[in-house]
Amino acid sequence: MYARQQLCLPYLQNLSPYPLLRAAAVLLAFLLPQIGNGQNKETGADDDDHQHMMSQLGIKAIRQGPDPNNQSTFDEALANPYKDTMPDVLRMKDGTKVTRAGQWRKRRAEVLEDFEREVYGRIPKNVPRVFWRVISATTGESDGIPTLTKSLLGHVDNRAYPQISVEIQASFTVPTNSKKPVPIMIELAFGTGRSGFVPAWKQLALSKGWGYGHIIPTSIQPDNSRMKTGIIGLTNKGQPRKPDDWGALRAWQWGASRLIDYFEENRNSLVDPKKVGIEGLSRYGKAALVAQAFDTRIAVGLIGSSGEGGAKLHRHIFGEAVENLAGGESYWMAGNFIKYGASDPPKTAADLPVDSHELIALCAPRPCFISYGVVEHGDAKWVDAHGSFMATVLAGQVYRLLEKKDLGTAGDYLTDVMPPVKTLIGGELAWRQHEGGHEVTPNWPPFFEWVQRYIEAPRQKGKTSRQVVPAKTTIATPREDANSAIAHLQLVEKAKKGGIDLYFVGDSIVRRWGCSDPQYAELLQNWNANFFGWNAGNFGWGGDKIENILWRMERGELEGVNPKVIVILAGTNNLDFGTQGSDDLTVAGVTQGIEALLRVCRAKAPHATILLTALFPRNDHADAIPTINRINVNLSFLEDRKTIRFLNINKRLADKAGLLFEGVMNSEDKLHPTVRGYEIWADGLKPLLTELLGSPALVDHAPPPTGNPGAGIISLPKLKP
């Protein structure tokens, strides 16, 4: 009996105490299997695909899968019995270890073959052509952005078998005020939604310069075991599937790929066909991941709560398992997949030649965002978020091989700890568990914040809501006080003296470490102990915001210095905790400000390697940590591992909640490091400095440290901006 029947029949049979309704429920319970496996009205033939596959494969029985109504039986301590059989995604069939990016193409082909033959099935070569036509075109507006929406119908050529007709339903909306084609996110959707209703994520997409669209998978292939219908039935001319034929997930992927064909063939659609993304939830999350894995034209994927058959490791025995799909929704998969849920003859997930980390790896090097919710709000244990996190960790080695950024964890899928809820980690391969349930909605804003690092979209000029307004361009701005003006002149003179190979820039957190002020003598001693022989110059100034630092660097403080390494720590003075609802703007503003600093460093010191340091945790304001975490995620995306390196030492400064460890920060302001805190920063820097500069020399050529000019000067002429 199918998993859905297992879930709904007890409910049906207890609907009512009245005998007539109970009898109707029992009758319906009897009919459900007949409806699921019944006669194909179009062909008149028995359409029980599952039974056909059992017969073809010689399978006599399927193991009983876990019960979704008894999730208390799921035990993480018992979830990895097959860990010793986990396939190595970077080992060829002949045993050769893949160590170079050039080897991946051959290994990728091997992995694809296993997935096609044993898991998702092959798309036949004789699939009929799709003829798209626009059935409606409507202009509109969203938050001041003019839009064009086109509804499409894709007629599949059925002249070879007229008994089955397939009409693919799709739609897309683009902003019309863009001068060039836009990227687009295509949602695998259950339906079109209410007429005139535009969900917030679609408004957000438009505000970011993206289009949005949807395609209805069931218009391609029904979501049931009647495999003699839909595109699979049409291609097979009403005959049963073979064990390695495609299942519904591949069919839905095929349909999404045909929509990309439309964008490629119709450049007047205003869609950039090289920037098409895919999104889906649950079963459509599985399909979205399959689509990105198999069609390399898909530029990015947002994979929502995909579970078994999607991102979840088959070998992680927790929640839905192989045997649930083998005995229930087997029509999603190739017929061969049923073998691995069989008890007679017996096979298990350990016998699969591949696992889901390799499916995620097939998306590399393209950006892929794995999304889940939390159990407390409805993303049940059944979907196994942890098993999907483990798969994502394992897939990271392929992203690293191709010189892209993985999740940034230690890389051991059995021990790596999932990040806190609402924390986005990773680079091109990303993970975020949102605070909601079985949905993607809460992850759309961080998705668009993340994807802009990898896929460029035209800027929008229309009015948008406060939540999606881009931060203003960072404008270099001088400090107004006389003391800062004198300090700037002193730092310019320091820069002119030369002899600086290691250049530190930032605000008071940087300045206090290497200045001549008597009250910070202990910190200067620590500075010398760590950096003497590397010719280090300190160009921090207290109270500076990013725009102030930018002004100083543009006006002489980096001119002609030509350091080999630049260390940046800036932005903590830009944090705005006083304005309601300003967090999104603060995060965007600091990120764009740091990008401006990177640009001026590149322009004035083109040969320097930049060590970009994450903002430190601070406990002087309740709202600080979530904002700092979001900013640091953005800053991590700026790393290219060549000219820009990202350093985050915050795990040594504070616990997971952001509470500072005892003694690492000044006890009065809970913001500035103590000697111990600076030593932790130095410990993070020194391996990188040794790599870039070699061992410290016995002599040091950097100019002596400068200090606070003093507050005794009454006034000075304002500096010209």
Q: 147 pairs with which residues across the strands?
A: 140, 175
Number of domains observed in the structure of the chain: 2
CATH number at residue 611: 3.40.50.1110
CA distances from 608 to 514, 673, 697 (A): 21, 26, 19
| 221 CB burial (10 A radius; 0-12, 13-18, 19+) | buried
The 3-state secondary structure of 87-100 reads CCCCECCCCCECCC
Q: What letter represents residue 577's amino acid?
A: F
Kindly report, residue by residue over 483-540, the tens digit of the pLDDT: 999 999 999 999 999 999 999 999 999 999 999 999 999 999 999 999 999 999 999 9
Is residue 446 a part of any domain in this protein?
yes
| Weakest mean pLDDT among 137-151, 437-451, 533-547 | 137-151
Distance CA 706, CA 520 (A): 12
DSSP secondary structure letters along 296-308: TTEEEEEEES--T
Q: Give residue 73's pLDDT.
A: 78
| Weakest mean pLDDT among 65-69, 103-107, 217-221, 320-324 | 65-69
Regarding whether 332 and 207 lie in a shared domain, the answer is: yes
H/E element holding 399? Answer: helix 385-401
Q: Is 132 helix (H, G, I), strand (E, B) or coil?
A: strand
Regarding whether 561 and 428 lie in a shared domain, the answer is: no
Inform me whether the pLDDT recorded for 249 exceeds 60. yes
Regarding whether 491 and 400 lie in a shared domain, the answer is: no
Inform me whether the pLDDT recorded for 626 exceeds 80. yes
Which stretches of 266-321 are DSSP H helices? 283-294
Distance CA 285, CA 280 (A): 4
CA distances from 357 to 37, 389, 632 (A): 33, 9, 27
Distance CA 554, CA 714 (A): 26
Is residue 112 a part of any domain in this protein?
no
Kindly report, residue by residue over 651-707, the tens digit of the pLDDT: 999 998 899 999 999 999 999 999 999 999 999 999 999 999 999 999 999 999 999
Regarding whether 635 and 565 lie in a shared domain, the answer is: yes
Inform me whether the pLDDT recorded for 38 exceeds 60. no
Inform me whether the pLDDT recorded for 195 exceeds 70. no
Is residue 99 a part of any domain in this protein?
no
Regarding whether 297 and 238 lie in a shared domain, the answer is: yes
**Number of neighbouring beta carbons within 10 Å of residue 166:** 23
Q: Using a pLDDT cut of 70, give the percent of the chain over it.
A: 88
Angle at 408 between CA 287 and CA 384, to 5 degrees: 40
Question: Residues near 618 by Cβ (< 8 Å), separated by ≥ 6?
Answer: 572, 624, 625, 628, 660, 665, 670, 671
Distance CA 528, CA 514 (A): 8
Inform me whether the pLDDT recorded for 47 exceeds 70. no
Regarding whether 519 and 412 lie in a shared domain, the answer is: no
Contact 156, 441 (CB under 8 A): no
Q: What letter represents residue 427's amino acid?
A: G
Higher-pLDDT residue of 721, 379: 379
Q: Give residue 491's pLDDT.
A: 97
* Residue range 616-631: mean pLDDT, rounded: 89
**Residue-number span of the structural domain to which 612 is assigned:** 481-693
Regarding whether 260 and 196 lie in a shared domain, the answer is: yes
Q: How many residues does the chain have?
A: 721
Q: Is 647 helix (H, G, I), strand (E, B) or coil?
A: strand
**Number of neighbouring beta carbons within 10 Å of residue 290:** 30
Kindly report, residue by residue over 302-336, the tens digit of the pLDDT: 999 999 999 999 999 999 999 999 998 999 999 99
Q: Give residue 461's pLDDT.
A: 60
Is residue 87 a part of any domain in this protein?
no
Q: Give residue 34's pLDDT.
A: 32
Inform me whether the pLDDT recorded for 10 exceeds 60. no
CA distances from 258 to 99, 246, 255, 275, 429 (A): 35, 16, 5, 15, 26
Which stretches of 605-703 are DSSP H helices? 624-636, 675-693
Q: How many alpha carbons lie under 13 Å from residue 720 in its C-beta half-sphere?
A: 0
**Number of neighbouring beta carbons within 10 Å of residue 404:** 19
Regarding whether 245 and 343 lie in a shared domain, the answer is: yes
Is residue 1 a part of any domain in this protein?
no
Q: Is 366 helix (H, G, I), strand (E, B) or coil?
A: coil
| CA neighbor of 86 nearest in space, from 395, 345, 324 | 395
Average pLDDT, the chain: 88
Regarding whether 589 and 440 lie in a shared domain, the answer is: no
Q: Give residue 638's pLDDT.
A: 82
Contact 572, 620 (CB under 8 A): no
H/E element holding 383? Answer: none
Kindly report, residue by residue over 383-404, the tens digit of the pLDDT: 999 999 999 999 999 999 999 9
Distance CA 679, CA 663 (A): 12
Q: Give residue 70's pLDDT.
A: 81
Regarding whether 437 and 392 lie in a shared domain, the answer is: yes
Q: Using a pLDDT cut of 90, give the percent of the chain over it.
A: 77
Regarding whether 414 and 560 lie in a shared domain, the answer is: no
What pTM was computed for the model?
0.64
H/E element holding 171? Answer: strand 167-175
Regarding whether 550 and 434 lie in a shared domain, the answer is: no
Is residue 33 a part of any domain in this protein?
no
Q: Is 360 helix (H, G, I), strand (E, B) or coil?
A: helix
Q: Give residue 581's pLDDT.
A: 41
Kindly report, residue by residue over 56-93, the tens digit of the pLDDT: 999 999 999 998 878 777 999 999 999 999 999 999 99
Q: What tokens does 40 get?
A: 């194909």
Is residue 318 a part of any domain in this protein?
yes
Q: Give residue 577's pLDDT.
A: 67
CATH number at residue 174: 3.40.50.1820
Q: How large is the angle between the packed helices 624-636 and 583-604, nearest 10 degrees?
A: 40
Q: Give residue 231's pLDDT.
A: 98
Is residue 424 a part of any domain in this protein?
yes
